[in-house]
Amino acid sequence: MKIVNIMVGGPVNEVPIHIIKKHQDEIWLGIDYGATFLLQQGIIPAVAAGDFDSTNGNELNHLRSLVDDVRILPAEKDVTDTQYGTKLALNEYHPDQINIFGGTGGRIDQLLANLFMPLQDDFLDHLEKIRFIDRENTIDYYRPGKYAIEKNPRMRYLAFVNLTPVRGLTLPDEKYRLTNYDSDIPFCWSSNEFDGEINHFEFIKGIVAVIQSFDELHGNN
């Protein structure tokens, strides 16, 4: 499986360093301050791109000395940093999976822009490849079908998010079950839990995001 990892410039306290290290030998794209953050972790990205408004002159010079491909983008542009990085990954690397770090936390408008990004025309055909990862959550995207999902050993909580109108959502073996539910509005079925190491779900229309979560503040007990 070809994996491309993207570090965008979100709050660094939301970045799971232990997971970054596990992926350090894979392809990395550093977007805006995310590129400098990668260098601080000993990872040299294949591409560093952004307007670098949050990167000082010394940091930018350091980037240019280590990264072969540095792309300076205009401050005012028609795409977000996350959109740019995801397009770059899809168009130039053709991955099987894209892990996006630094895309959650901080400003709520930016979080929502990232959450709904895979529904846009540029990404819709590839939404199953996109995963957001932070210290307490993973977010994956699904089209209609029947699925088995494996529990992340660290995560206790499970949520199913209707990003569009959804038909026939069924959770047959989770802790809190649901049968053939239709929703005309976006809706989050939160605070569910796995019942076993592998659980299943299905639906016949719409787009659903599945979130596995660890409650770091209160623990998982």
- Give pLDDT, residue 142: 98
- Give pLDDT, residue 8: 93
The answer on 167 and 103 residing in a single domain is no
Does 69 fall in a domain?
yes
Q: Give residue-wise pLDDT tens across range 156-194.
A: 899 999 999 999 999 999 999 999 999 999 999 999 999
Domain that holds residue 166: 142-213
pLDDT averaged over consecutive 10-residue blocks of the chain (221 residues)?
93 89 95 93 95 84 92 83 94 97 88 93 96 95 97 92 97 96 94 93 98 73 47
3-state secondary structure 91-107: HHHCCCEEEEECCCCCC
Specify the pTM.
Answer: 0.92
The answer on 116 and 162 residing in a single domain is no
| Residue 164's CATH number | 2.60.120.320
The answer on 94 and 19 residing in a single domain is yes
- Give pLDDT, residue 221: 47
- Give pLDDT, residue 11: 82
The answer on 126 and 65 residing in a single domain is yes
- Give pLDDT, residue 55: 83
Give CA–CA dist 213/139, Å, rounded.
9
Contact 172, 196 (CB under 8 A): no
- Number of domains the chain contains: 2
The answer on 118 and 10 residing in a single domain is yes
Does 220 fall in a domain?
no
List of E strands, the chain: 3-7, 27-31, 47-50, 69-72, 97-101, 130-133, 137-142, 145-150, 157-162, 166-171, 178-183, 187-193, 198-203, 208-213
Q: Which of 87, 106, 135 is the last residue of a domain?
A: 135
- Give pLDDT, residue 218: 53
173: left (phi over 0), alpha (psi -120 to 50) or beta: alpha
The answer on 92 and 156 residing in a single domain is no
The answer on 71 and 103 residing in a single domain is yes
Does 219 fall in a domain?
no
Q: How many helices (H) and strands (E) does the chain have?
A: 6, 14
- Give pLDDT, residue 78: 80
The answer on 112 and 146 residing in a single domain is no
